[in-house]
Amino acid sequence: MKVVPSRSSEWVRPVTPQKPASAIIEIESVSQVFQTSARKDHVALSDISLAIDEGAFVSILGPSGCGKSTLLYVVGGFVSPTSGSAKIRGRTIMGPGPDRGPVFQEFALFPWKTVLGNVMYGPRQQGVRTTEAEAQSRALIEMVGLKGYENFYPKELSGGMKQRVALARTLAYHPEVLLMDEPFGALDAHTRTRLQNDLLNIWERDRKTVLFVTHSVDEAVFLSDKVVMMSKSPGRIREVIDIDLPRPRRRSELLLDPRYQKYVVDIERMFDETDPVGSPS
Amino acid sequence: MISPAGLARRAAPVLACIGLLAMWQAASLALKNDSFPTAIEAIRAIPDILGDKESLINILASLRRMAIGFGIAVSVSIPLGLLMGRSRAVAAFFNPLLMVIYPVPKAALMPIIMLWLGVGDVTKTLVIFLGVSLPVIYHSFEGAKAVEEKMLWSGAAMGLSPAQRLVRIVLPAALPEILTGCRTGLVLALITMITSEMIARQSGAGNILFNALDMGQYDTVFAMIIIVGAMGICLDAIFERVRARLVRWSEPQFDMPLSFS
């Protein structure tokens, strides 16, 4: 049996032969090797096992190049692992599907569609009637704070607004799991903070399972139930940390909370041990 | 009320044309060469050509061949270019073929094609087709290659099949680049149209031009050059209108993104 270092974890734990019924995603000894040149292989992920429970907000934290995004792409079905497998509700993931909704750092909006057109795209593809899809999409656009921008093209929006559209577009087709790949990584500090707050508010309404990749320690602590700390070369799980902070979380309260501060300091120290010289990003 | 700057911008093309014609007029008067008529003589010959039923039929026949050649080329080249851009195997197969054909002047193939297909419309349309295809394939290929992987992943997560992704994501995402290729293709269509009629003289605008040249009617020759040039400008202007409408989304309406976070 694989032993993954873990501190008493109810949300994230090593996969045991008796699979816990509540795990929605199970990653079983996934390895991912990229051939960078004829002689040298880059081991992006080495024997990763992880189970994620339904309704959990789990962050994957690690330095650049530790394979954390690759792990997310494996769950998304965008990349097939060199060995091992990922499962959703017990079914092996063979490719992308509407049960897992990605949100990328690059937004990846459809630039030829308006905000409304982008958000409606998923529901329309799923066969939802136009009028119904439009009503749902307008409600989502309002929820992410973009009421009045329905007919704007992505080109006319700021980075923060684009990421709001991307989130609404993904929520629109009701994925069971949100896969967020450094979604706020390209945004300025202020925008980032506002989006973190808004994401938490949205998440606290329906508590969808979220897998959230980030390299920011305080972002991971602020948002998550669990932080999965990865180390690089090869990409391994170093530690799984429960974030035992009350919800709903308010930034102003949390920043003054000694427990929050301790999590951040502890994890930052671990981060430094994992990546002593800092990594080029 | 038009601002002085706006007025200058609108007047600029007209002034450029007047300037060009004035230089032509001056050069022609200075050289005093029989085969180089003045601008005024050439312009005077235009109404005669456009008023002649025979000439108009010729010009319309040219345009018809051009439209057919261009239309077929675009409808074949765009799918091929997109497939090449998204599939390594397809690109590996077609790239060497296209690299060989690209630098060959299409008019140079005409004598051979004429042997096979005669001097009629089919040959000329085929040459136009060849001339238009390559830039359209090339730009569609480049446009499809540049489509962001994550945009396709987003589509895949929504349940789009690979074929649907090609038509509903790669095609619109690559459209600005494809239309750049089509614009080059349109100019090349006009050029190959005239050259094909120069080689296989039977009908068309090129036929009028080169017959006049043979007969020493230099004012008609230059008048035809002006007409062909004007046709090019008009076609390009129409195409640009269509293009701007289709890819409105890719050009910002505002200089700065709205500040909002």
pLDDT in tens, B179-200: 999 999 999 999 999 988 888 8
Phi and psi based region of residue B203 (left: phi greater than 0; alpha: psi -120 to 50; beta: remaining): beta
Residue A1 C-alpha, separation from nearest chain B C-alpha, in angstroms: 33
Distance CA B244, CA B238 (A): 10
A184 three-state secondary structure: coil
Distance CA A197, CA B59 (A): 67
Percent of chain B residues topping a pLDDT of 70: 95
The burial of A111, by beta-carbon neighbours within 10 Å (0-12 exposed, 13-18 middle, 19 or more buried), is given as: buried
CATH number, domain B39-248, options 1.10.357.10, 1.10.3720.10, 3.40.640.10, 3.40.50.300: 1.10.3720.10
Of A221, A217, A225, A227, nearest to A254 by C-alpha is A221
What pLDDT sits at residue A170? 97
Q: Are strands A41-53 and A83-88 parallel, antiparallel or unpaired?
A: unpaired
ipTM of the complex: 0.89
Q: Which residue has the higher pLDDT, B55 or A21?
A: B55
Q: At what angle do helices A115-125 and A159-171 cross, to 10 degrees?
A: 20
Of A178, A248, A169, A243, nearest to A209 by C-alpha is A178
What pLDDT sits at residue A9? 45
Distance CA B72, CA B69 (A): 5
A220 three-state secondary structure: helix
Q: Name residue A41's beta-bridge partners.
A: A35
Distance CA B128, CA A72 (A): 50
Which residues from chain B sit within 8 angstroms of residue A169, using beta carbons?
154
Q: Tokens in use for B200?
A: 């296989």
Q: Taking a contact as any Cβ pair under 8 Å apart, which residues of chain A between 168 and 187 contact chain B?
A: 169-170, 173, 175, 187
- Contact between B186 and B239 under an 8 Å Cβ cutoff? The reply is yes
pLDDT in tens, A3-20: 444 444 445 555 544 444
Residue B261 C-alpha, separation from nearest chain A C-alpha, in angstroms: 5
Q: Does A94 touch chain B (CB under 8 A)?
A: no
Q: Does A122 touch chain B (CB under 8 A)?
A: yes
Distance CA A243, CA A222 (A): 9
The burial of B114, by beta-carbon neighbours within 10 Å (0-12 exposed, 13-18 middle, 19 or more buried), is given as: middle
* pLDDT < 70 stretches in chain A: 1-21, 39, 277-281
Q: Tokens in use for B188?
A: 């090349």
Query: Omega before A248 cis (within 30°)?
Result: yes
Decide if pLDDT at B261 tops 60: no
What pLDDT sits at residue A19? 47
Q: What Cα–Cα distance (Å) separates residue A244 from each residue in A8, A169, A229, A254, B213?
A: 11, 31, 16, 12, 91
Starting at the earlier edge strand, list the strands of the sheet with A226-231. A100-104, A177-181, A209-214, A57-61, A226-231, A236-242
Decide if pLDDT at B259 tops 80: no
Which residues from chain A sit within 8 angstroms of residue B159, using beta carbons?
97-98, 125-126
Closest Cα in chain B to A171? B158
The burial of A59, by beta-carbon neighbours within 10 Å (0-12 exposed, 13-18 middle, 19 or more buried), is given as: buried
What pLDDT sits at residue B4? 79
* Overall size of chain A counted in residues: 281
Kindly give, in sequence order, each residue whose CB lies less than 8 Å from that of residue A49, ignoring residues fewer than 6 positions away.
A2, A4, A14, A15, A27, A28, A29, A30, A84, A237
Decide if pLDDT at B2 tops 80: no
Decide if pLDDT at B21 tops 50: yes
pLDDT in tens, A137-174: 999 999 999 999 999 999 999 999 999 999 999 999 99
Closest Cα in chain A to B247? A112
Distance CA B134, CA B137 (A): 5
What pLDDT sits at residue B153? 97
What is the DSSP-derived secondary structure letter of residue A25? E
Tell me how far the alpha carbon of residue A276 is from its chain's centroid. Answer: 25
Of A54, A90, A93, A53, nearest to A72 by C-alpha is A93
Backbone angles phi, psi at B207, to 5 degrees: -60, -45
Where do we find the tokens 């990846």?
A108
Kindly give, in sequence order, each residue whose CB lies less than 8 Å from that of residue B183, ignoring residues fewer than 6 positions away.
B236, B239, B240, B243
- Contact between B191 and B131 under an 8 Å Cβ cutoff? The reply is yes
Q: Taking a contact as any Cβ pair under 8 Å apart, which residues of chain A between 15 and 74 contact chain B?
A: none
Which residues from chain A sit within 8 angstroms of residue B260, using beta carbons?
157-158, 160-161
- Contact between A27 and A192 under an 8 Å Cβ cutoff? The reply is no
Q: Are strands A57-61 and A209-214 parallel, antiparallel or unpaired?
A: parallel
Backbone angles phi, psi at B142, to 5 degrees: -65, -40
Mean predicted confidence (pLDDT) in B46-67: 92
* Overall size of chain B counted in residues: 261
Query: What are the residue ranges of helices labelled H in B146-170?
Result: 149-157, 162-165
Tally of CB atoms within 10 A around A99: 18
Distance CA A219, CA A185 (A): 10
What pLDDT sits at residue A5? 46
The shortest CB-CB distance from B154 to any of A97, A102, A195 is to: A102
What pLDDT sits at residue B57? 92
Mean predicted confidence (pLDDT) in B149-170: 96
- Contact between B85 and B145 under an 8 Å Cβ cutoff? The reply is yes
**Radius of gyration from C-alpha coordinates of chain A:** 19
Cβ distance of B158 and A157 shorter than 8 Å:
no
Decide if pLDDT at B156 tops 70: yes
